[in-house]
Structure 1
Amino acid sequence: MLAALPAEHRQPMMELARGAAFPGATRIFEEGGKADRFWIIRSGTVALDVQVPGRGRAVVETIGAGDLLGWSWLCPPRQWHLGAEARDPVLAWEFDAASVRALCTERPALGLALVTLVAETIGDRLRATRTRLLDLYGPCGGGPVPCL
């Protein structure tokens, strides 16, 4: 994701970054929790999941190197819309959301570029979630009876 930012915006963002590591099978955040940071994955994979009543967690997408982990920090109420779990060891750049929002206020061109990238990520995640939920709850073989 950082590679997609114009060059003049990457350095100010990286000045806010700090390294983060998550062992495999580690819950990174839970759906509904406070979204006060986000990550750019450097290596490893993370499963994004949604709580399905009566069924537990359903993975809606798996993301990896170069991907944005977490977008809920951008808009109120700043609560995670999905949960996340490291599938294997993950290295990432971690960003404090309040610091990034302040930087975006100071540098509106950077803010617009970042919001555009985050909006693209939101769209991708919503499409992936919709597809996964259709796989889980859509009719079996095209018939009117849901798959159970």
Structure 2
Amino acid sequence: MRFKPHFEKIRFIFGAIVVVTISGCFQIFGSGPATFIKKSFNPSKTKQAILFWKGGNATSGNSLQVSIKGAGDDLDKAEVGNVFTVDDDHGKARLNPKAIRLIWKSDRQLNIEYDVNLRTFIQLKRFNDDTIVYRTFKPVIPANHMD
């Protein structure tokens, strides 16, 4: 009869290990919260383009992302860029506010200028009724420059 209590203890410990392991995976594979960098409103102030930083995790690096939203909409902490997403391509570029420029040319055309060294993952040319035009530029200070 001593076997049963010992078995229950082992089963409890095993279950606790499984729960801790699974909950840890969500922290490892989930990306960090969206951190606001800057925004630009269209001329009539009905829409905004928001540039934000998204922290990486064990499987992906940090990224800069752009979303087009209504003028009164806030950046959600779980936001994912709906028009443009880039990373530093393993240190070839800098992820900073100067790496991406948001310029509305009209109420329906957003120009996104970005560091030529950034690696692009998402680059939509249309979003709802908006047209997005992309241009690259060479940074003034290279990514490998020591501050």
Q: Provide TM-score, normalisation by structure 1.
A: 0.23
Where relative contact order (Cα < 8 A, 6+ residues apart) is larger, the structure is: 1
Larger radius of gyration: 2
